[in-house]
A and B are shown apart, each in its own frame.
Chain A
Amino acid sequence: MSRELLKISGLHAAVEGKEILHGIDLEIKPGEIHAVMGPNGAGKSTLSAVLAGKPQYTVTEGSIEFLGRDLLAMSPEQRSWAGIFLSFQYPIEIPGVSITSFMKTAINSKRAAEGLEPLKGADFLKLMREKMAFVKMKPEFAKREVNVGFSGGEKKRNEIFQMAMLDPVLSILDETDSGLDVDALKIVAEGVNALRSPSKSAIIITHYQKLLDYVEPDVVHVLKAGKIVRTGGREIVDIIETQGFDSF
Protein backbone atom coordinates (compact mmCIF):
# COMPACT_ATOMS: atom_id res chain seq x y z
CA MET A 1 0.00 0.00 0.00
CA SER A 2 2.85 2.39 0.72
CA ARG A 3 3.88 4.31 -2.31
CA GLU A 4 7.40 4.23 -3.63
CA LEU A 5 10.16 6.29 -2.15
CA LEU A 6 12.16 5.87 -5.33
CA LYS A 7 10.92 4.87 -8.74
CA ILE A 8 13.37 4.36 -11.57
CA SER A 9 11.76 3.73 -14.95
CA GLY A 10 13.47 2.72 -18.18
CA LEU A 11 16.69 4.46 -17.21
CA HIS A 12 19.40 4.76 -19.83
CA ALA A 13 22.56 6.63 -18.86
CA ALA A 14 25.84 7.43 -20.52
CA VAL A 15 29.21 8.78 -19.55
CA GLU A 16 31.65 10.29 -22.05
CA GLY A 17 29.26 9.41 -24.86
CA LYS A 18 29.15 5.72 -23.96
CA GLU A 19 25.89 4.21 -22.75
CA ILE A 20 26.40 2.21 -19.55
CA LEU A 21 22.86 1.67 -18.27
CA HIS A 22 20.49 0.15 -20.82
CA GLY A 23 17.05 0.40 -19.27
CA ILE A 24 16.85 0.05 -15.48
CA ASP A 25 13.54 -0.34 -13.64
CA LEU A 26 13.70 -0.27 -9.86
CA GLU A 27 11.17 0.59 -7.17
CA ILE A 28 12.00 1.08 -3.53
CA LYS A 29 9.37 1.45 -0.83
CA PRO A 30 9.91 3.29 2.46
CA GLY A 31 11.79 1.18 4.99
CA GLU A 32 13.28 -1.21 2.44
CA ILE A 33 16.92 -2.09 2.00
CA HIS A 34 17.84 -3.11 -1.52
CA ALA A 35 21.11 -4.69 -2.54
CA VAL A 36 22.37 -4.17 -6.07
CA MET A 37 25.03 -6.74 -6.86
CA GLY A 38 27.02 -7.20 -9.99
CA PRO A 39 30.43 -7.89 -11.45
CA ASN A 40 32.94 -5.14 -12.30
CA GLY A 41 31.78 -2.97 -15.17
CA ALA A 42 28.10 -3.85 -14.73
CA GLY A 43 27.16 -0.20 -14.20
CA LYS A 44 26.82 -0.23 -10.41
CA SER A 45 28.78 2.97 -9.83
CA THR A 46 27.05 4.63 -12.79
CA LEU A 47 23.71 3.94 -11.15
CA SER A 48 24.81 5.53 -7.87
CA ALA A 49 26.38 8.51 -9.69
CA VAL A 50 23.17 9.11 -11.66
CA LEU A 51 21.05 8.94 -8.51
CA ALA A 52 23.26 11.52 -6.77
CA GLY A 53 23.40 13.72 -9.88
CA LYS A 54 27.04 13.60 -10.91
CA PRO A 55 27.26 16.17 -13.73
CA GLN A 56 29.48 14.06 -16.02
CA TYR A 57 26.72 11.45 -16.38
CA THR A 58 23.90 11.99 -18.85
CA VAL A 59 20.51 10.37 -18.66
CA THR A 60 19.51 9.67 -22.25
CA GLU A 61 16.16 8.03 -21.56
CA GLY A 62 13.82 7.22 -18.69
CA SER A 63 12.87 8.89 -15.43
CA ILE A 64 13.56 8.84 -11.70
CA GLU A 65 10.98 9.89 -9.14
CA PHE A 66 11.99 10.49 -5.55
CA LEU A 67 9.16 11.13 -3.06
CA GLY A 68 7.02 12.01 -6.03
CA ARG A 69 9.45 14.61 -7.38
CA ASP A 70 11.40 14.55 -10.63
CA LEU A 71 14.87 13.73 -9.32
CA LEU A 72 16.58 14.33 -12.65
CA ALA A 73 15.53 17.99 -12.59
CA MET A 74 17.36 18.51 -9.29
CA SER A 75 20.99 19.55 -8.69
CA PRO A 76 23.22 17.34 -6.51
CA GLU A 77 22.78 19.73 -3.58
CA GLN A 78 18.99 19.81 -4.00
CA ARG A 79 18.99 16.01 -3.97
CA SER A 80 20.97 16.05 -0.74
CA TRP A 81 18.51 18.51 0.82
CA ALA A 82 15.64 16.27 -0.28
CA GLY A 83 17.23 13.38 1.62
CA ILE A 84 19.54 11.50 -0.73
CA PHE A 85 23.00 10.52 0.50
CA LEU A 86 25.74 8.81 -1.47
CA SER A 87 28.54 7.09 0.39
CA PHE A 88 31.44 7.30 -2.07
CA GLN A 89 33.45 4.31 -3.16
CA TYR A 90 36.50 6.59 -3.23
CA PRO A 91 35.92 9.45 -0.77
CA ILE A 92 37.60 12.69 -1.83
CA GLU A 93 40.38 14.34 0.18
CA ILE A 94 39.93 18.03 0.98
CA PRO A 95 43.22 19.42 2.35
CA GLY A 96 42.94 22.43 4.61
CA VAL A 97 39.25 21.88 5.42
CA SER A 98 38.45 20.24 8.76
CA ILE A 99 35.67 17.71 9.17
CA THR A 100 34.01 20.15 11.57
CA SER A 101 33.95 23.04 9.16
CA PHE A 102 32.97 20.76 6.26
CA MET A 103 30.01 19.32 8.14
CA LYS A 104 29.00 22.71 9.53
CA THR A 105 28.87 24.08 5.99
CA ALA A 106 26.90 21.04 4.83
CA ILE A 107 24.35 21.09 7.67
CA ASN A 108 23.83 24.84 7.55
CA SER A 109 23.47 24.82 3.75
CA LYS A 110 20.59 22.40 4.13
CA ARG A 111 19.07 24.54 6.90
CA ALA A 112 19.41 27.65 4.75
CA ALA A 113 17.63 25.84 1.90
CA GLU A 114 14.82 25.05 4.33
CA GLY A 115 14.67 28.66 5.51
CA LEU A 116 16.16 27.83 8.92
CA GLU A 117 18.81 29.73 10.89
CA PRO A 118 22.29 28.16 11.10
CA LEU A 119 22.62 25.64 13.91
CA LYS A 120 24.01 27.17 17.10
CA GLY A 121 27.67 26.33 17.72
CA ALA A 122 26.99 24.34 20.87
CA ASP A 123 24.14 22.39 19.29
CA PHE A 124 26.29 21.59 16.28
CA LEU A 125 29.17 20.34 18.41
CA LYS A 126 26.80 18.20 20.45
CA LEU A 127 25.45 16.64 17.26
CA MET A 128 29.01 16.06 15.98
CA ARG A 129 30.08 14.37 19.21
CA GLU A 130 27.01 12.19 19.28
CA LYS A 131 27.40 10.98 15.69
CA MET A 132 31.16 10.49 16.00
CA ALA A 133 30.61 8.30 19.04
CA PHE A 134 27.93 6.44 17.09
CA VAL A 135 30.42 5.40 14.37
CA LYS A 136 33.23 5.00 16.93
CA MET A 137 35.27 7.79 15.41
CA LYS A 138 37.90 9.26 17.73
CA PRO A 139 37.03 12.84 18.83
CA GLU A 140 40.33 14.19 17.44
CA PHE A 141 39.05 13.48 13.93
CA ALA A 142 36.80 16.54 14.24
CA LYS A 143 39.86 18.70 13.61
CA ARG A 144 41.38 16.51 10.91
CA GLU A 145 41.34 17.61 7.29
CA VAL A 146 38.60 15.76 5.40
CA ASN A 147 39.95 12.31 4.44
CA VAL A 148 43.57 13.54 4.27
CA GLY A 149 45.90 10.79 5.46
CA PHE A 150 42.96 8.54 6.39
CA SER A 151 43.22 4.78 5.98
CA GLY A 152 40.68 3.05 3.74
CA GLY A 153 38.62 2.07 6.78
CA GLU A 154 38.75 5.57 8.27
CA LYS A 155 37.52 7.08 5.00
CA LYS A 156 34.54 4.72 4.89
CA ARG A 157 33.80 5.38 8.54
CA ASN A 158 33.85 9.10 7.79
CA GLU A 159 31.28 8.48 5.05
CA ILE A 160 28.99 6.71 7.52
CA PHE A 161 29.55 9.53 10.01
CA GLN A 162 28.47 12.08 7.38
CA MET A 163 25.48 9.89 6.59
CA ALA A 164 24.50 9.90 10.27
CA MET A 165 24.94 13.69 10.46
CA LEU A 166 22.80 14.37 7.40
CA ASP A 167 20.13 11.83 8.39
CA PRO A 168 19.07 10.94 4.84
CA VAL A 169 15.82 9.34 3.67
CA LEU A 170 17.63 7.28 1.03
CA SER A 171 21.22 6.17 1.61
CA ILE A 172 23.18 4.83 -1.30
CA LEU A 173 26.28 2.90 -0.30
CA ASP A 174 28.56 2.49 -3.28
CA GLU A 175 30.97 -0.37 -2.58
CA THR A 176 31.26 0.85 0.99
CA ASP A 177 32.44 -2.62 1.96
CA SER A 178 35.35 -2.83 -0.45
CA GLY A 179 38.74 -2.84 1.22
CA LEU A 180 37.34 -3.03 4.76
CA ASP A 181 38.42 -5.42 7.47
CA VAL A 182 35.78 -7.19 9.55
CA ASP A 183 35.80 -4.60 12.36
CA ALA A 184 35.32 -1.67 9.99
CA LEU A 185 32.67 -3.65 8.14
CA LYS A 186 30.73 -4.20 11.37
CA ILE A 187 30.80 -0.48 12.13
CA VAL A 188 29.44 0.32 8.69
CA ALA A 189 26.77 -2.35 9.13
CA GLU A 190 25.82 -1.07 12.58
CA GLY A 191 25.52 2.41 11.10
CA VAL A 192 23.20 1.23 8.36
CA ASN A 193 21.15 -0.93 10.71
CA ALA A 194 20.79 1.81 13.30
CA LEU A 195 19.49 4.22 10.68
CA ARG A 196 16.84 1.72 9.61
CA SER A 197 13.33 3.01 10.10
CA PRO A 198 9.93 2.51 8.50
CA SER A 199 10.36 5.75 6.54
CA LYS A 200 13.99 5.33 5.46
CA SER A 201 15.54 3.20 2.78
CA ALA A 202 18.95 2.22 1.53
CA ILE A 203 20.58 0.89 -1.60
CA ILE A 204 23.66 -1.20 -0.96
CA ILE A 205 25.75 -1.48 -4.08
CA THR A 206 28.32 -4.21 -3.85
CA HIS A 207 30.39 -6.80 -5.59
CA TYR A 208 30.55 -9.16 -2.62
CA GLN A 209 28.13 -10.56 -0.10
CA LYS A 210 30.37 -9.41 2.82
CA LEU A 211 28.30 -6.44 4.03
CA LEU A 212 25.12 -8.43 3.48
CA ASP A 213 26.24 -10.87 6.16
CA TYR A 214 25.57 -8.05 8.62
CA VAL A 215 22.79 -6.07 6.93
CA GLU A 216 19.73 -8.04 5.92
CA PRO A 217 18.45 -6.83 2.54
CA ASP A 218 14.72 -6.95 1.73
CA VAL A 219 15.30 -7.14 -2.02
CA VAL A 220 18.35 -8.18 -4.03
CA HIS A 221 18.97 -7.20 -7.65
CA VAL A 222 21.61 -8.53 -9.98
CA LEU A 223 22.98 -5.88 -12.32
CA LYS A 224 24.85 -7.15 -15.35
CA ALA A 225 25.93 -5.26 -18.47
CA GLY A 226 23.75 -2.27 -17.62
CA LYS A 227 20.54 -4.20 -16.94
CA ILE A 228 18.88 -5.75 -13.94
CA VAL A 229 18.81 -9.43 -14.86
CA ARG A 230 17.28 -10.85 -11.68
CA THR A 231 15.36 -9.54 -8.68
CA GLY A 232 14.59 -11.61 -5.64
CA GLY A 233 15.33 -12.07 -1.97
CA ARG A 234 18.25 -13.12 0.20
CA GLU A 235 18.57 -16.43 -1.70
CA ILE A 236 20.18 -14.58 -4.62
CA VAL A 237 23.10 -13.58 -2.40
CA ASP A 238 23.71 -17.26 -1.68
CA ILE A 239 23.62 -18.17 -5.37
CA ILE A 240 26.21 -15.45 -6.10
CA GLU A 241 28.35 -16.65 -3.22
CA THR A 242 28.50 -20.21 -4.52
CA GLN A 243 28.27 -19.76 -8.27
CA GLY A 244 29.40 -16.18 -8.98
CA PHE A 245 27.61 -13.98 -11.48
CA ASP A 246 27.88 -16.37 -14.44
CA SER A 247 24.65 -18.14 -13.61
CA PHE A 248 22.59 -15.00 -14.28
Chain B
Amino acid sequence: MPGHYIDVPVSGTAVTDSLRKVFILRPGDSAQDISIEARAGSVTDITLVILPGVSADLTVNVDFTGEGASLRLAGLYVCGSSEKVSVRTVVRHRVPFCTSDQIFTGIAGGTSRVSFNGTIIVAPGAQKTEAYQQSRNILLSRDAKVSTEPQLEIYADDVKCSHGATAGSLSEDELFYMRSRGIPESEAKVLQLISFLSPVLASLPDPDAVASELEAAIRSIVQR
Protein backbone atom coordinates (compact mmCIF):
# COMPACT_ATOMS: atom_id res chain seq x y z
CA MET B 1 0.00 0.00 0.00
CA PRO B 2 1.92 3.02 -1.20
CA GLY B 3 2.27 5.86 1.19
CA HIS B 4 2.06 3.67 4.25
CA TYR B 5 5.30 1.82 4.35
CA ILE B 6 7.93 4.46 4.43
CA ASP B 7 11.30 2.94 3.75
CA VAL B 8 13.40 6.07 4.03
CA PRO B 9 15.85 5.38 6.82
CA VAL B 10 15.73 8.02 9.48
CA SER B 11 18.62 6.82 11.55
CA GLY B 12 20.61 9.76 12.73
CA THR B 13 18.03 12.20 11.41
CA ALA B 14 18.25 15.64 12.93
CA VAL B 15 14.83 17.21 13.19
CA THR B 16 14.81 20.97 13.03
CA ASP B 17 11.19 21.65 12.15
CA SER B 18 8.83 18.72 11.98
CA LEU B 19 8.96 15.05 11.14
CA ARG B 20 5.99 12.79 10.77
CA LYS B 21 6.59 9.19 9.84
CA VAL B 22 4.71 5.94 9.89
CA PHE B 23 6.58 2.65 9.76
CA ILE B 24 4.61 -0.43 8.92
CA LEU B 25 6.38 -3.74 9.21
CA ARG B 26 4.86 -6.55 7.18
CA PRO B 27 6.14 -10.11 6.89
CA GLY B 28 9.41 -10.00 4.98
CA ASP B 29 10.27 -6.45 6.01
CA SER B 30 13.33 -6.01 8.14
CA ALA B 31 13.26 -3.76 11.13
CA GLN B 32 15.70 -0.88 11.36
CA ASP B 33 16.63 1.04 14.44
CA ILE B 34 15.47 4.62 14.48
CA SER B 35 17.59 7.41 15.82
CA ILE B 36 16.48 11.00 16.02
CA GLU B 37 17.87 14.25 17.30
CA ALA B 38 15.07 16.65 18.16
CA ARG B 39 16.33 20.21 17.86
CA ALA B 40 14.85 23.39 19.32
CA GLY B 41 11.15 23.84 18.62
CA SER B 42 10.82 20.70 16.49
CA VAL B 43 7.75 18.48 16.36
CA THR B 44 8.30 14.76 15.85
CA ASP B 45 5.52 12.27 15.38
CA ILE B 46 6.44 8.66 14.80
CA THR B 47 4.13 5.68 14.56
CA LEU B 48 5.28 2.12 14.37
CA VAL B 49 2.94 -0.65 13.22
CA ILE B 50 4.07 -4.25 13.47
CA LEU B 51 1.67 -6.60 11.71
CA PRO B 52 1.16 -10.31 12.45
CA GLY B 53 3.84 -12.66 11.17
CA VAL B 54 6.65 -10.22 11.86
CA SER B 55 9.40 -10.87 14.36
CA ALA B 56 11.35 -7.74 15.07
CA ASP B 57 13.92 -6.42 17.45
CA LEU B 58 14.37 -2.70 17.27
CA THR B 59 15.33 0.37 19.20
CA VAL B 60 14.05 3.90 18.88
CA ASN B 61 16.43 6.55 20.20
CA VAL B 62 15.33 10.13 20.59
CA ASP B 63 17.63 12.84 21.92
CA PHE B 64 16.25 16.24 22.79
CA THR B 65 19.07 18.70 22.10
CA GLY B 66 17.12 21.96 21.76
CA GLU B 67 14.46 23.55 23.95
CA GLY B 68 10.74 23.56 23.22
CA ALA B 69 10.69 20.37 21.15
CA SER B 70 7.98 17.74 21.29
CA LEU B 71 7.75 14.06 20.48
CA ARG B 72 4.88 11.69 20.05
CA LEU B 73 5.95 8.11 19.69
CA ALA B 74 3.20 5.56 19.13
CA GLY B 75 3.42 1.89 18.40
CA LEU B 76 1.19 -1.07 17.95
CA TYR B 77 1.93 -4.73 17.42
CA VAL B 78 -0.33 -7.65 16.72
CA CYS B 79 1.13 -11.12 17.18
CA GLY B 80 -0.94 -14.22 16.57
CA SER B 81 1.40 -17.16 16.26
CA SER B 82 5.04 -17.53 17.27
CA GLU B 83 6.37 -14.02 16.64
CA LYS B 84 9.03 -12.46 18.82
CA VAL B 85 8.74 -8.72 19.02
CA SER B 86 11.06 -6.66 21.11
CA VAL B 87 10.86 -2.88 21.14
CA ARG B 88 13.13 -0.60 23.12
CA THR B 89 12.72 3.13 23.31
CA VAL B 90 15.27 5.47 24.79
CA VAL B 91 14.17 9.09 25.13
CA ARG B 92 16.78 11.46 26.46
CA HIS B 93 15.67 14.84 27.69
CA ARG B 94 18.99 16.70 27.72
CA VAL B 95 17.51 20.22 27.71
CA PRO B 96 14.56 22.01 29.40
CA PHE B 97 11.04 22.63 28.08
CA CYS B 98 10.57 19.50 25.96
CA THR B 99 7.62 17.10 25.89
CA SER B 100 7.56 13.42 25.04
CA ASP B 101 4.48 11.23 24.88
CA GLN B 102 4.78 7.52 24.18
CA ILE B 103 1.98 5.05 23.76
CA PHE B 104 2.45 1.42 22.80
CA THR B 105 -0.40 -1.05 22.49
CA GLY B 106 0.00 -4.72 21.76
CA ILE B 107 -1.97 -7.88 21.22
CA ALA B 108 -0.22 -11.17 21.86
CA GLY B 109 -1.77 -14.48 20.86
CA GLY B 110 -0.47 -17.96 20.04
CA THR B 111 2.93 -18.55 21.55
CA SER B 112 4.24 -15.09 20.74
CA ARG B 113 6.69 -13.19 22.92
CA VAL B 114 6.40 -9.44 23.18
CA SER B 115 8.63 -7.18 25.16
CA PHE B 116 8.63 -3.44 25.54
CA ASN B 117 11.38 -1.64 27.33
CA GLY B 118 10.98 2.10 27.60
CA THR B 119 13.68 4.26 29.09
CA ILE B 120 13.20 7.93 29.82
CA ILE B 121 16.21 9.90 30.94
CA VAL B 122 15.80 13.44 32.21
CA ALA B 123 19.22 15.04 32.53
CA PRO B 124 20.18 17.39 35.37
CA GLY B 125 18.97 20.86 34.37
CA ALA B 126 16.30 19.60 31.93
CA GLN B 127 13.62 21.40 33.95
CA LYS B 128 9.97 21.67 32.85
CA THR B 129 10.28 18.39 31.03
CA GLU B 130 7.05 16.51 30.47
CA ALA B 131 7.55 12.84 29.70
CA TYR B 132 4.79 10.27 29.53
CA GLN B 133 4.83 6.62 28.63
CA GLN B 134 2.08 4.02 28.42
CA SER B 135 2.31 0.38 27.49
CA ARG B 136 -0.98 -1.52 27.23
CA ASN B 137 -1.27 -5.14 26.21
CA ILE B 138 -3.89 -7.79 25.71
CA LEU B 139 -3.02 -11.46 25.96
CA LEU B 140 -5.14 -13.73 23.80
CA SER B 141 -3.69 -17.04 24.88
CA ARG B 142 -2.13 -18.63 27.92
CA ASP B 143 0.99 -19.46 25.98
CA ALA B 144 1.70 -15.91 24.86
CA LYS B 145 3.95 -13.74 27.00
CA VAL B 146 4.25 -10.01 27.38
CA SER B 147 6.89 -8.27 29.38
CA THR B 148 6.90 -4.55 29.75
CA GLU B 149 9.58 -2.65 31.51
CA PRO B 150 9.49 1.07 32.07
CA GLN B 151 12.69 2.69 33.23
CA LEU B 152 12.72 6.27 34.41
CA GLU B 153 15.93 8.04 35.28
CA ILE B 154 15.12 11.52 36.43
CA TYR B 155 17.85 13.91 37.51
CA ALA B 156 15.88 17.17 37.45
CA ASP B 157 13.31 18.22 40.05
CA ASP B 158 10.81 20.40 38.19
CA VAL B 159 9.37 17.84 35.77
CA LYS B 160 6.17 15.94 35.04
CA CYS B 161 6.74 12.29 34.26
CA SER B 162 4.50 9.28 34.34
CA HIS B 163 4.40 5.75 33.08
CA GLY B 164 1.82 3.01 33.08
CA ALA B 165 1.86 -0.58 31.99
CA THR B 166 -0.98 -3.06 31.73
CA ALA B 167 -1.31 -6.60 30.48
CA GLY B 168 -4.78 -8.06 30.60
CA SER B 169 -7.24 -10.15 28.72
CA LEU B 170 -10.38 -9.26 26.79
CA SER B 171 -13.09 -7.63 28.89
CA GLU B 172 -15.99 -10.02 29.52
CA ASP B 173 -18.36 -7.13 30.19
CA GLU B 174 -17.53 -5.46 26.92
CA LEU B 175 -17.95 -8.73 25.00
CA PHE B 176 -21.30 -9.36 26.65
CA TYR B 177 -22.50 -5.85 25.80
CA MET B 178 -21.69 -6.39 22.12
CA ARG B 179 -23.13 -9.92 22.03
CA SER B 180 -26.35 -8.71 23.65
CA ARG B 181 -26.72 -6.47 20.58
CA GLY B 182 -26.49 -9.50 18.31
CA ILE B 183 -22.80 -9.28 17.46
CA PRO B 184 -21.38 -12.84 17.36
CA GLU B 185 -18.66 -13.62 19.90
CA SER B 186 -15.77 -13.79 17.43
CA GLU B 187 -16.81 -10.50 15.80
CA ALA B 188 -17.18 -8.92 19.25
CA LYS B 189 -13.59 -9.93 20.00
CA VAL B 190 -12.39 -8.33 16.75
CA LEU B 191 -14.28 -5.14 17.54
CA GLN B 192 -12.88 -5.00 21.07
CA LEU B 193 -9.32 -5.49 19.84
CA ILE B 194 -9.73 -2.76 17.22
CA SER B 195 -11.12 -0.56 19.96
CA PHE B 196 -8.12 -1.38 22.14
CA LEU B 197 -5.71 -0.32 19.40
CA SER B 198 -7.66 2.82 18.58
CA PRO B 199 -5.46 5.35 20.45
CA VAL B 200 -2.61 4.41 18.12
CA LEU B 201 -4.76 3.81 15.02
CA ALA B 202 -6.16 7.30 15.40
CA SER B 203 -2.69 8.76 15.00
CA LEU B 204 -2.20 7.24 11.54
CA PRO B 205 -2.59 9.68 8.66
CA ASP B 206 -5.05 7.42 6.85
CA PRO B 207 -6.41 5.24 9.62
CA ASP B 208 -9.01 3.48 7.50
CA ALA B 209 -6.59 1.83 5.09
CA VAL B 210 -4.36 0.37 7.78
CA ALA B 211 -7.33 -0.33 10.03
CA SER B 212 -8.94 -2.59 7.47
CA GLU B 213 -5.67 -4.46 6.94
CA LEU B 214 -5.32 -4.84 10.71
CA GLU B 215 -8.94 -5.85 11.08
CA ALA B 216 -8.47 -8.68 8.60
CA ALA B 217 -5.31 -9.79 10.42
CA ILE B 218 -7.02 -9.67 13.80
CA ARG B 219 -10.03 -11.56 12.47
CA SER B 220 -7.84 -14.39 11.25
CA ILE B 221 -6.12 -14.57 14.66
CA VAL B 222 -9.40 -14.60 16.59
CA GLN B 223 -10.88 -17.32 14.36
CA ARG B 224 -7.79 -19.51 14.59
Interface mask (A104-133 → B, CB under 8 Å = 1, otherwise 0):
011101100100000000000000000000
The CA-CA distance from A55 to B180 in the complex, in Å, is 11
Interface mask (B179-196 → A, CB under 8 Å = 1, otherwise 0):
111111101000110111
Residue from the list B172, B187, B192 in contact with A109, Cβ < 8 A = B187
Nearest chain B CB to A90's CB is how many angstroms away?
9
Specify which chain B residues have a CB less than 8 angstroms from the CB of A88 in the assembled complex: 177, 180
Tell me whether A96 and B184 are in contact in the complex, defined as CB-CB below 8 angstroms, given that A80-B179, A91-B177 are known contacts. no
Q: Of B110-118, B147-155, B198-206, which binds chain A?
A: B198-206
Specify which chain B residues have a CB less than 8 angstroms from the CB of A113 in the assembled complex: 182
Specify which chain B residues have a CB less than 8 angstroms from the CB of A107 in the assembled complex: 182
The CA-CA distance from A165 to B184 in the complex, in Å, is 17
The CA-CA distance from A14 to B77 in the complex, in Å, is 39
Specify which chain B residues have a CB less than 8 angstroms from the CB of A110 in the assembled complex: 182
The reply on B176 being an interface residue by CB < 8 A is yes
Which of B35-77 touch A at CB < 8 Å? Answer: none
Tell me whether A96 and B197 are in contact in the complex, defined as CB-CB below 8 angstroms, given that A80-B181, A86-B180 are known contacts. yes
Specify which chain B residues have a CB less than 8 angstroms from the CB of A95 in the assembled complex: 195, 198-199
The CA-CA distance from A117 to B182 in the complex, in Å, is 16
Specify which chain B residues have a CB less than 8 angstroms from the CB of A56 in the assembled complex: 172
Q: Which of B178, B185, B201 has the most CB of A within 10 A?
A: B178
The reply on A54 being an interface residue by CB < 8 A is yes
Contact A96 B180 (CB under 8 A): no
Chain B interface main SS type: helix
Contact A94 B181 (CB under 8 A): no
Interface mask (A50-82 → B, CB under 8 Å = 1, otherwise 0):
001111100000000000000000011101110
Contact B181 A166 (CB under 8 A): yes
Contact B183 A105 (CB under 8 A): yes
The reply on B174 being an interface residue by CB < 8 A is yes
Interface mask (A16-45 → B, CB under 8 Å = 1, otherwise 0):
000000000000000000000000000000
The reply on A194 being an interface residue by CB < 8 A is no
The reply on A97 being an interface residue by CB < 8 A is yes
Contact A166 B182 (CB under 8 A): yes
Residue from the list A79, A96, A166 in contact with B199, Cβ < 8 A = A96
* A interface residue count range (under 10 / 10 to 19 / 20 to 34 / 35 or more): 20 to 34
The CA-CA distance from A95 to B200 in the complex, in Å, is 12
Q: Which of A88, A105, A107 has the most CB of B within 10 A?
A: A105
Specify which chain A residues have a CB less than 8 angstroms from the CB of B180 in the assembled complex: 52-53, 76-77, 79-80, 85-86, 88
The CA-CA distance from A162 to B172 in the complex, in Å, is 20
Residue of B nearest to A162 (CB): B181
Nearest chain A CB to B179's CB is how many angstroms away?
4
The reply on B173 being an interface residue by CB < 8 A is yes
Contact B176 A54 (CB under 8 A): yes
Contact B201 A96 (CB under 8 A): yes
Residue of A nearest to B188 (CB): A77
Contact A94 B195 (CB under 8 A): yes
Contact B199 A109 (CB under 8 A): no
Contact A76 B199 (CB under 8 A): no
Specify which chain A residues have a CB less than 8 angstroms from the CB of B187 in the assembled complex: 105, 109
The CA-CA distance from A91 to B178 in the complex, in Å, is 11
The CA-CA distance from A80 to B188 in the complex, in Å, is 14
Known contacts A52-B180, A96-B197, A96-B199; 8 additional CB pairs below 8 A are A76-B179, A94-B174, A94-B195, A95-B199, A96-B196, A97-B194, A106-B182, A109-B183
Ordered by A's residue number, 14 sampled pairs between the chains whose C-beta atoms are within 8 Å are: A52-B176, A53-B180, A55-B172, A55-B176, A77-B184, A80-B179, A85-B180, A88-B180, A96-B194, A96-B196, A97-B194, A106-B178, A106-B182, A109-B182
Sort A-B residue pairs by CB-CB distance and give the 8 closest, nearest first: A96-B198, A80-B182, A76-B179, A92-B177, A106-B181, A96-B195, A110-B182, A77-B179
